[in-house]
Structure 1
Amino acid sequence: MTLLTADITVFNGSAQMVENIAISLQAGEAVTLIGETGSGKSLFADAILGTLPQGLHATGAVTIDGTHVDPQLPSSLEAFWGHRISVLPQEPWRALDPLMRSRAQVAEVHKLVAKSPTAAQDATQDLEALDLGDAADRFPFELSGGMAQRLAIAAARAGGANIVVADEPTKGLDTGRRDEVARQLNTVTASGGALLTITHDLQLAEALGGEILVLRRGRLIERGPAHQVLGSPAHPYTAELIEAEPRYWPARACQTNGTKVLQGKGITVERGGRALFADLNLDLHAGEVVGLCGPSGVGKSSLGDTLLGITKPAKGEVVRGAAATKRFQKLWQDPPAAFAPHITLGRGLKDLMSLHHLPAEKLPPLLELLRLDPNLLDRKPDAVSGGELQRLSIVRALLLDPIFLFADEPTSRLDPLTQRDVMQMLVDLARKKGIAVLLVSHDQDLIARATDRQINLKAA
């Protein structure tokens, strides 16, 4: 039984953004889109869902469970949301109600979409299945990025839709959580549903199986069974993409310690009255890149906020020296948090430079360094890809000449090629400019090859 077909072209005015890509998903089948950041993967999915950013439009045809829908009339697709087709979003914070507790968010979908008479019990089971039982009564702002991602997955699946679109579903998750999400997604196809996934995580793509489509610059350059595309790629770009994974990076020579930039003494961090970790001591030096490891929810992002002075430790102290506060910067796990949603990206960056009296000529070299088209600055944050927004958040931080960067999963939305280049750039800048970088990542290969040493956070 065919659950979803789509033959889509996406335009920005008369400019073609995605060139005539077609898929057909049968019951029990999975299709995964991979490719470089900004290649059109999310735009293709948005056209199927009727959620293209303002100014873009799609042509072609979409069929959902045998019903034909015109993608040029995106509002006609809304009737399918939740109970026929569901979305696991790239940005969990955009999918969650900030004023609702975790269990209530999932129960609401069970009640209103699935019409379940046991919505509260169903929600509890869903949360426990994703190891979120202890977070049932917490608000989204009390969750780590990985926990918020799992909550968004639970809410999206609660409606019982048999077609699932998953946009970067394992972003910000450790290996164990990623494998659990893969198992959850595989239950979609095992139960007769259809799965369309967008990911930069090639190990997830391998675990999901099915068919893989490789996109580059809005064009389909290769497609085939997952084992074939990933094991014996036919296109040179696909091979290059695979070889750029962190596990293939060369080992890096460790940096000799420079001047001490920041020190933590006996730090204990709590959330909701519960200690996440206790009695942590650390020294960070100019020019070194330190990896911060630990399972989702252990307090890695909370430690970064404490070191930056955004929050105070429950115990201990942080010594930051006499440097200006603006030189202690954060690369956010969710880059929308770094940008005002209702103004263009260019306006936001110009306001930042004006506030700190920075010359306009400082911006273009950073855009070039991070392979960003200056025309992106004319758009608002929701009109660029997640990877492009993540690189723009790096530009925003670097404008202020930081001496300390807390890099919270800074490459989690980037394809392997761009991730490799961005990490090389961050390490080189740390060395050249004497920046102390504390790097959070759940990718153990990346941490091993991009950092001088590691700190492994353990729960209190």
Structure 2
Amino acid sequence: MKVLLKLTNVAVYAGETCLLEPISLELIQDQPLTILGQTGSGKSLLAQAIMGLLPKALSVSGEIEVFGKVMTIKERRALWGRVLVMLPQEPWHALNPLMKGVDQVKEVYQCVLGESRQEALASTHQDLLQVGLDDSAHKRPDQLSGGMAQRLAIVAATAGGANMILADEPTKGLDVSRRDGIVRMLQSRSDLGSLLIITHDVVVARQLGGKLLVMKEGRVVEEGEALLLLNNPQACYTRDLIAAEPSAWPEIAPTSRRSAAEDVLVVDQLAIARGNRTLFNGVSFSIKKGAVVGIVGDSGCGKSSLGDALLNLLPISAGSITRLNHDAKPHQWLKLYQDPPSAFSSSVSLGQLLDDLVVLHDIDKSRVAPLLDRLKLPNGILERNCLSVSGGELQRFAILRALLLDPVFLFADEPTSRLDPITAKEVTTLLVELASEANCAVLLVSHDAALIRKTCHKTICL
């Protein structure tokens, strides 16, 4: 067994505060390693420490060896692209917003591998074809769905030939078929090296096999052979993670619904197109106050576009949308974005963003603290900006901001795609409670059919 990467007592600190307790592990050739854990458990900090990408305010201790040699940050960075690569949690942080997808991948083949323009273009089209993006090659990242952008980021990151891959939540926001395809793609691209995947998806951990580490609050609680550990977990926390998969949830949606409840939205024979491509047509449905309606469908089928059209953020091609709650203010028709970083400014703290909201809409500020507690967000999060918190924490903060505005209609676009199963269950339950308590209509998008089945009163399939 060839050890490609070895960590010895690696820990991460913010001043005197230990964020990631000392951890030792080995990444062995042809043996994937999965790190499974709750949002904010320190999984991403570990990957950033390995790559040398920690923010300046954080420090790292311990030794990191690559190919048997203890390497400095500078030496590890010299391996980027050709030997060692990291897929970031947010595809928007990895992609150039002004470049077409085909150019972003082609550039890697030309600059890292030295291929000619024609060779690079041929290699790029082959890669995009493998992940179902050949028809979207000339689109910019903002013209892609979240799942499509994730696939583009993976292709661009691995095009340089690096076969030691650190992938931070690479399958979030993807439907089942795309998820399985991405896992197979990462496995094939690490054939001569190895793969370290950070995830909160128990299914992905089962698919990969190999070794498994389970983390909670900055420390390892359990480790061993993946399949043995998942089939016979010893730690209570591991058992809780497995039990929190949507397929094991009880029915969350309230069973009693007032048949006389008023409609908030009525959609009739709706069609939406992007460019020359029709995403869907002939879609008709209504949503009542207090109802939770689910949308399912493959990545790129138009789920996000449907929600945007309902909020007047996207033109429709045919049909009609009637909004019936005329007393509601514009800011009470809201969207929870699939990629929360796209909904926040990084130039100010999250606390300042909330203060601005409170002033703008004359909100009682005393409502903030109970919501922080209900969403399990620490008070200290308000002192940080959107780039200094985990993806899951930022998504829960986005839900907090939405709740403060007392929405009458909430389009929740994959609101749990960045959350571990335990937190996802809590957040989804909260959204369903919101619908019932505040008489708010919720349109919930998810690639997880079990989640939709357990939480929604009815389902729209695109």
User: Structure 1 length as normaliser, TM-score?
Assistant: 0.96
CA offset at residue 381 of structure 1? 0.9
Partner of 1:344: 349
How far apart in 2 are the matches of 1:83 and 1:442? Answer: 33
Please list every run of 5 or more consecutive structure 2 residues that lacks an aligned counterpart in the other structure: none
For residues 62-120 of structure 1, what are the alpha-carbon distances to aligned partners after superposition, in whole Å with 9 as ceiling and x for unaligned?
A: 122344223xxx45532121111112221111111111111111111111112233111
- Contact between 2:446 and 2:452, CA under 8 Å: does it hold in 1? yes
CA offset at residue 51 of structure 1? 1.1
Q: List 4+ stretches of structure 1 deviating above 4 A.
A: none
Partner of 1:34: 36
Partner of 1:297: 300
The answer to whether 1:419 aligns with 2:424 is yes
How far apart in 1 are the matches of 2:272 and 2:296? Answer: 16
3-state SS in 2 of match to 1:80: coil
How far apart in 2 are the matches of 1:171 and 1:357? Answer: 36
How far apart in 1 are the matches of 2:291 and 2:316? Answer: 24
The answer to whether 1:106 aligns with 2:109 is no
- Contact between 1:403 and 1:435, CA under 8 Å: does it hold in 2? yes
The answer to whether 1:259 aligns with 2:253 is no
Alignment of 1:171-182 (within 5 A): 171-182=172-183
How far apart in 2 are the matches of 1:243 and 1:153? Answer: 30
Partner of 1:409: 414
How far apart in 2 are the matches of 1:192 and 1:423? Answer: 40
For residues 176-209 of structure 1, what are the alpha-carbon distances to aligned partners after superposition, in whole Å with 9 as ceiling and x for unaligned?
A: 00110111122144x2211111101110111111
Partner of 2:67: 65
Partner of 1:235: 235
- Contact between 1:287 and 1:431, CA under 8 Å: does it hold in 2? yes
CA offset at residue 309 of structure 1? 0.9
Alignment of 1:47-446 (within 5 A): 47-70=49-72, 74-117=73-116, 118-189=119-190, 191-252=191-252, 253-256=254-257, 257=259, 258-321=261-324, 322=326, 323-446=328-451
How far apart in 1 are the matches of 2:178 and 2:304? Answer: 17
Please list every run of 5 or more consecutive structure 1 residues that lacks an aligned counterpart in the other structure: none
- Report the identity percentage: 46
Alignment of 1:3-14 (within 5 A): 3-7=4-8, 8-14=10-16
- Contact between 1:255 and 1:452, CA under 8 Å: does it hold in 2? no
1:401/1:146 CA distance change after superposition, 3 Å = same
Segment drifting more, 74-83 vs 22-31: 74-83
How far apart in 1 are the matches of 2:25 and 2:361? Answer: 49
- Contact between 1:292 and 1:441, CA under 8 Å: does it hold in 2? yes
How far apart in 2 are the matches of 1:363 and 1:4? Answer: 44
- Contact between 2:340 and 2:398, CA under 8 Å: does it hold in 1? yes
- Contact between 2:158 and 2:189, CA under 8 Å: does it hold in 1? no
- Contact between 2:294 and 2:443, CA under 8 Å: does it hold in 1? yes
Opposite residue 292 of structure 1, the aligned amino acid is I
CA offset at residue 279 of structure 1? 2.1
CA offset at residue 433 of structure 1? 0.8
Question: What's the Cα RMSD here?
Answer: 1.3
- Contact between 1:255 and 1:287, CA under 8 Å: does it hold in 2? no
1:41/1:415 CA distance change after superposition, 3 Å = same
How far apart in 2 are the matches of 1:20 and 1:114? Answer: 37
